């Protein structure tokens, strides 16, 4: 099969089309003939040597795919209500940038009605991550306020729509006025250009001094102290990336006086059963919202898979709003 390989750690041009043996689906797994593969920031980190592949996962990059079921474990498929030829999208721990990809049945979801392969391939990584971090770890409730750092990212555009659909008020940060406008168009209630305003001061003002209930943070570093400062009583800070560095100094007094929770997670290395539970929650709570048009995939651009290097160059330019997808 054709696959995009990381031929060495480095700049986007280390991504090259190559030939690999087709993977074989084992017990509880499906083989998917891939039509489209989503591109995510963790793929960029893997390419630069900053995100090691978890034990047992493919070294081919790519954490999400959409396509049709080519073969697989018949009884696991039947139990999941799937059959050969069905269109599915899947979260995978690697191997997504390839014509054929193996996925655990529990991490596969039917393509929501009306969605193209490109749209379906854009869903799993951000929808699993946002559900797990904002709603499970962050326990965001209807009527609460969520602050999303990086509102125009793939993660951000998903978090805005999911949190709005489930009844929260949403504040985002973004690095330009155009990106702020794009977030507002997706339903965010307020957008803060973090390059021209102090997000913590703005968030406090926007909440009448009460602070926000949950923060989805992909920056960390010096942001953490300011995030602690703008959290409401019983607020929850959920860290999913450390683009601003791993070291933070916090006011521990605020943590105890306001009964704050600081937490975080990474999805990729979690067990299949954990991801399968998220898949079920998404199918029940979120897939209907996609099928009725309340939540829409946000595709910035698509590239032929052989041009994966261009897709990574675009992602690193930070010009995109939403998702970048490769097609086969
Ligand atoms: N923990 C997990 O399980 C998990 C899973 C998936 C992704 N992630 C992480 O989530 C992040 C988003 O992933 P993605 O695929 O959606 O990537 P992406 O579309 O490339 O987004 C990266 C975002 O980071 C924002 N950003 C950078 N510096 C910022 C700052 N100082 N303040 C506010 N925003 C800032 C950028 O916003 P501007 O362009 O506006 O500056 C951009 O929107 C990545 O860091 C990724 O590693 C974590």
**Per-residue model confidence as pLDDT tens digits over 257-308:** 999 999 999 999 899 999 999 999 999 999 999 999 999 999 999 999 999 9
Q: How confident is the model at residue 192 (pLDDT cuts 50, 70, 90)?
A: very high
Q: Which residues line ligand 1 (CB under 6 A)?
A: 40-42, 125, 129, 149-150, 152-156, 173-175, 179, 194, 218-219, 240-241, 243-244, 265-267, 315, 318
126-162 pLDDT per residue, tens: 999 999 999 999 999 999 999 999 999 999 999 999 9
Give the list of residues 6+ apart from residue 106 with CB closer than 8 angstroms, or none: 28, 80, 272, 273, 275, 276, 279
**Tens digit of pLDDT for each residue in 45-100?**
999 999 999 999 999 999 999 999 999 999 999 999 999 999 999 999 999 999 99
**110 DSSP β-pair partners:** 88
Q: Over range 103-124, report the average pLDDT.
A: 98
Residue 42: pLDDT band by 50, 70, 90 thresholds? very high
pLDDT-above-70 percentage for the chain = 100
Rounded distance from Cα 267 to ligand 1 centre (Å):
15
Fold observed for domain 2-123+268-327: Quinone Oxidoreductase; Chain A, domain 1 (3.90.180)
Task: Say how many Å lie between the CA of residue 301 and the centre of ligand 1.
Answer: 17
Q: Cβ contacts of residue 233 below 8 Å, gap of 6+?
A: 211, 258, 259
Instruction: pLDDT band for 171, please (50, 70, 90 cuts).
Output: very high
- Average pLDDT over the chain, rounded to an integer: 97
Q: So where are the chain's domains?
A: 2-123+268-327, 127-264
Percent of the chain with pLDDT over 90: 99
Distance of alpha carbon 138 from alpha carbon 61, whole angstroms? 29
pLDDT for residue 193: 98
- Closest residue by Cα to atom 37, ligand 1, is 150
Per-residue pLDDT band for 34 (boundaries 50, 70, 90) equals very high
Superfamily grouping for domain 127-264: NAD(P)-binding Rossmann-like Domain (3.40.50.720)
């Amino acid at each position: 099969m054709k696959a995009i390989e990381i031929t060495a750690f480095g700049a986007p041009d280390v991504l090259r089309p190559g030939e690999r043996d087709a993977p074989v689906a084992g017990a509880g797994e499906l083989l998917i003939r891939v039509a489209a593969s989503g591109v995510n920031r963790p793929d960029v980190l893997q390419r630069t040597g900053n995100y090691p592949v978890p034990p047992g996962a493919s070294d081919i990059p790519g954490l999400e795919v959409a396509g049709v079921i080519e073969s697989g474990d018949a009884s696991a498929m039947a139990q999941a209500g799937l059959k050969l030829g069905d269109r599915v999208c899947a979260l995978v721990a690697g191997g997504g940038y390839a014509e054929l990809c193996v996925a655990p049945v529990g991490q596969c979801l039917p393509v929501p009605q009306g969605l193209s392969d490109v749209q379906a391939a854009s869903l799993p990584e951000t929808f699993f991550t946002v559900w797990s971090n904002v709603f499970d770890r962050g326990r965001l409730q209807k009527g609460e306020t969520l602050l999303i750092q990086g509102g125009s990212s793939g993660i951000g555009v998903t978090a805005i729509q999911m949190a709005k659909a489930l009844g929260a008020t949403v504040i985002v940060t973004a690095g330009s006025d155009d990106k702020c406008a794009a977030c507002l168009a997706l339903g965010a209630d307020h957008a803060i250009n973090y390059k021209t305003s102090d997000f913590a001061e703005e968030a406090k003002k926007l909440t009448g001094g009460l602070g926000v209930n949950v923060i989805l943070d992909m920056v960390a570093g010096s942001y953490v102290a300011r995030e602690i400062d703008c959290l409401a009583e019983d607020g929850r800070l959920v860290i999913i990336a450390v683009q601003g560095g791993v070291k933070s100094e916090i006011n521990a007094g605020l943590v105890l006086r306001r009964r704050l929770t600081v937490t975080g997670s990474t999805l990729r290395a979690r067990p299949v059963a954990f991801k399968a539970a998220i898949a079920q929650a998404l199918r029940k709570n979120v897939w209907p919202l996609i099928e009725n048009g309340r939540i829409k995939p946000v595709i910035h651009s698509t590239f032929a898979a052989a041009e994966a290097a261009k897709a990574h160059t675009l992602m690193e330019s930070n010009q995109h709003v939403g998702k970048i997808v490769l097609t086969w």
